[in-house]
Amino acid sequence: MSEKSVDKATLKMIKKAGDDNVKLAWDRLVAQQPQCGFGQLGVCCRNCNMGPCRIDPFGDGPDTGVCGADADTIVARNLLRAIAAGAAAHSDHGRGIAATLYASARGEARDYPIKDEAKLKAVATEFGIVVEGRSVQEIALELAGAVLEEFGTKKGSLQFINRAPVQRRELWDKLGITPRGIDREVVESMHRTHMGVDNDYTSLILQGLRTALSDGWGGSCIATELSDILFGTPQPVKGVCNLGVLMEDQVNIILHGHEPTLSDIIVFAARDEELLAEARQRGASGINVCGMCCTGNEVLMRHGVPLAGNFLQQELAIVTGAVEAVIVDVQCIMPSLPQIAGCYHTKVISTSPKAKFPGALHVPFDEHNAMEVAKKILRLAVENYSNRRREKVSIPSDRMEYMAGFSVEALLAALGGTLSPLIDALKSGSVKGIAGVVGCNNPKYRQDYSHLTFIRELIKNDILVVATGCAAIACAKDGMLLPGAADEAGEGLKAVCKGLNVPPVLHMGSCVDISRILTVAAAIANALGVDIADLPLVGAAPEWMSEKAVSIGAYVIGSGIFTILGTVPPVLGSKNVAALLTSGADEVIGAKFAVEEDPVAAAELAVKHIAGKRVSLGLKA
């Protein structure tokens, strides 16, 4: 069983699930074997009803689909569609936050006051909005309107791309991949991949980069910046994580998904004296709100809410038998949750009109009446405490303390208000480089193993790690987000971390918050007068699984950062596409992908790449 995870709490709950005759993602993966080889290579096409078609990878069968599309076209089209789906997911998240800011500014969402007025004014100024002599509501209303324009086509380019160095923006213009509008790029990608439109794999991949850039420098950036304005800009916060945060004598609630709009209100609603009294009347000592996946990241870094786990632990939280309600919004929520909840007493409560789940209770969330809806949902959880089946309860004791919440602003504060100390450390070699480690879990791979092994190798080599999403949660569970983890780092990085009292792995938020990493990279490049591609940086997604991760990888290399994937993408059916992504892209965009399943070998690639970039900058390798 240990091949399924390195996390002890996970292994205990997998065993309990077996005892309870509950099927988990790992069981369903086994049932899927052998998985479709055509799908793994990316050579199957179902874009029209002349198919589905597939290309014979061994050359003994068809080498084109019915329409004549070859492996290059089919693989590139499939990849572009995955990027478009991922970009759409992140960007629709951003649009939702923008709509809430708009409603707040109009006085229609009274439960969402502006929490960070300084950031509101800073972002508004970035958009060319006058802030002097105007009220917060006036500024917010104009900013929300301007941000919502980013999704259309009228402006011609996105505002946040101006954070990138001029060299990078000129390259995007030269290649014709400057993102023009978020919705425009997603829609055009779907148009191009319709039967009989764009059939050139290079052209399709370039559109993929443009669409992904509209995510990284558009939708994700909007989600991050406006969330900070509405909910507060994260500052370093301490907390605890893993399934051991669940409490045997309290009403346990899991907030799962990605958007903070409801979860932020739930955190405050759970402090309501009337609800707490109801919980006590039913025998509970309190209400314990915990996070899961990126909704968990959102509420942990702003409120220190305990974090129950990452992607592969969402089913296991229910298996503890101690969760009264799993409240979900959007993205990365397994459809299996209501079925598993049926084996216990847990209520799965969906809240988004975009994400409904057969078997779940749907309580539509309305930001115009947020607190009322939040209390209604919490009351359902409190009432369910009486239904808990004590004989089914088993909460693992495993839990770990962490330090999280390193927004760009918090990072600057830790450095004394300027990036200069970090840049000086890079120049001196105390910090050799910076790695952004992001992404999911994938049951095909041992949970958290690749994240942790890869990161430990990096910090040993004096590479500072910034992490988001489920990768960051893996680090939290293993103690890598504590200042004491610097003892595992090389002497240079250790000294820097000890001096600042920060961990060698900095938690920067949820998956949309990779935009924070882009902002820091751009700021360092601008300070040095170079392109992002010139910096000693790497990106990595050791255990990725979702289409959002495909978009992330594409915008990271599109921004000039070498990126290592730890799970194999479905592109190997086209030698040309695979070669373009892992080699040719470097000459075109200044960065490329590498695919390496062994995390130690992947770390060696990262260290080698960073050493090369340092030499190119005239720094000691």
Annotated binding site, which residues?
36, 44-45, 48, 53, 67, 258, 294, 332, 440, 470, 511
Q: What are phi and psi of 152, to 5 degrees?
A: -95, -150
Residue 347: strand pairing partners: 325
- Going by C-beta distance under 8 Å and a sequence separation of 6 or more, which residues neighbour residue 386? 282, 283
Please list the residues that pair with 466 across neighbouring strands: 436, 506
Q: How far apart are CA 482 and CA 485, in angstroms?
A: 6
Secondary structure of residue 70 in the 3-state scheme: strand
User: With the C-alpha atoms ordered 593, 599, 602, 607, is the resulting torsion angle positive or negative?
Assistant: positive
Query: What distance in Å separates the CA atoms of residue 348 and residue 316, rounded to the nearest whole number?
Result: 14
What H or E segment, with its residue span, contains residue 18? helix 8-19
One-letter identity of residue 425: A
* H helices present in 559-598, as ranges: 575-579, 585-589
Encoded amino acid at 339, one letter: Q
Question: Vertex 540, ends 242 and 185: CA angle to 5°?
Answer: 105
| Three-class DSSP category at 6 | coil
Q: Which residues are annotated as a binding site for [Ni-4Fe-4S] cluster?
A: 258, 294, 332, 440, 470, 511
Would you report the helix, strand and coil content of the chain in percent, each value rounded to 5?
55, 10, 35
Cα–Cα distance measured from residue 170 to residue 163, given in angstroms and rounded to the nearest whole number = 13
Does residue 143 contact residue 116 with C-beta atoms inside 8 Å?
no
- Residue 355 burial (C-beta neighbours within 10 Å; 0-12, 13-18, 19+): middle
Cite the beta strand spans of 386-489 per DSSP E: 400-404, 433-437, 463-467
Instruction: Report which secondary-structure segment, H or E, holds 539.
Output: strand 537-541
Please, are residues 423 and 527 in contact by the beta-carbon 8 Å criterion?
A: yes
Structure tokens at 208: 């993929």
CB-neighbour burial class of residue 101 (10 A; exposed 0-12, middle 13-18, buried 19+): buried
Q: What is the DSSP letter of 447?
A: B
Binding-site residue numbers for [4Fe-4S] cluster are 36, 44-45, 48, 53, 67
Q: Closest Cα partner for 94 from 291, 210, 258, 213?
A: 258
Q: Which residues of 369-401 are buried (b: 16+ CB within 10 A; e: fewer)?
A: ebeebbbebbbbbbbbbeebeeeeebbbebbbe
The Cα–Cα gap between 542 and 533 comes to 21
